[in-house]
Amino acid sequence: AKRGGGTAYAFFEPHMNAGVREQIELQRDLRQAIERGELELHYQPKVSSGRNVITGVEALARWKHPVRGMLSPGVFIPIAERFGLINALGNWVIEEACHQVSRWRDQGLRIRVAINLSVHQLRQDDLVPRVEKALRTHHLDPALVIFEVTESVAMEDAAGTLATFERLGGIGVKLSIDDFGTGYSSLSYLRQLQVSQLKIDQSFVRDLETSADARAIVKAVVGLAHALNLSVVAEGVETEAQRDVLTALKCDELQGYLYAKPMTAALMGQWALDIDP
């Protein structure tokens, strides 16, 4: 398979196992789904830990395969990355998320959207112009858009990430480090990156009630973030006990099934109206 460009050539070889064949079939279907606009975005709210107000939503890609049914992005995002489809997919996500925020705005809702960026998108030459174009097309305040990049991706090419973050920050969008705590970023690098948010990985949230280490890590991350003037979001909040610990540890925003699962744009708009009329 040829990587990186817009095209990928895939051949069946007799020695390929079922897993590889399946991936090749999936990439063919995914390519078609992207071209035909068959992907969807669902949205999951983040709420402030103190008061129950919505602080934003995260856009999460969804693909309903005609035969296999709903597929998780945990399955199709890696396929998109592997077969050179991630930029086409990611560009669609940016355009659609911005479009949706503008539709909400036209309904009187001011909702910030978080958009996940993969490593290939960060290295895409025209990422910044594309973001600018989406903002312009939908007359959006750039501050309504925040990009989430995982800590491990941000670290993989530290100099490249720094340069791209500077350009993104320059057009006024916000930046967040996703799955924080699972990579190894240094303090000085974090400070240089000019992000506005750290997102604590759900593995720490899951272990909060049982592990003193997880609590210590969350406490340290919140302390670090606040010292650097960043806000902290915890993802994967499922129980009231987790919410209470995170609130006591001064985590700023919470996201997880306790509040809501990712949902369609229409339901998200209704949810926002209900919680924050």
From Ca ion, ligand C2E, none, which one binds at residue 61 (CB under 5 to 8 Å depending on kind)?
Answer: ligand C2E
Q: Tell me which of Ca ion, ligand C2E, none is bound by residue 118, counting a contact when its beta carbon lies within the kind-specific cut-off of 5 to 8 angstroms.
A: ligand C2E
Q: How far apart are CA 117 and CA 99, in angstroms?
A: 17
Coil vs helix vs strand at 231:
strand
Q: Which residue is nearest to ligand C2E (CB)?
A: 256
183 contributes a contact to ligand C2E by CB under 6 A: no
Q: Which of 148, 151, 252, 253 is close enough to bind Ca ion by CB under 5 A?
A: 148
Contacts of 197 (CB under 8 A, 6+ apart): 146, 174, 175, 176, 177, 225, 230, 231, 232, 233
- Is 164 a residue that touches ligand C2E (CB under 6 A)? no
Judged by CB, which is closer to ligand C2E: 29, or 148? 148
Stretch that binds Ca ion, among 23-31, 68-76, 120-128, 179-187 (CB under 5 A): 179-187
Beta strands in the chain (DSSP E): 39-48, 54-65, 69-71, 113-116, 145-150, 174-180, 197-200, 231-234, 253-254
d(CA 258, CA 124): 36
Q: Is 151 in the site for Ca ion (CB under 5 A)?
A: no
Minimum CB–partner distance for residue 115 and Ca ion (Å): 9
d(CA 76, CA 55): 28
Residue 74 binds: one of Ca ion, ligand C2E, none (C-beta under 5 to 8 A by kind): ligand C2E
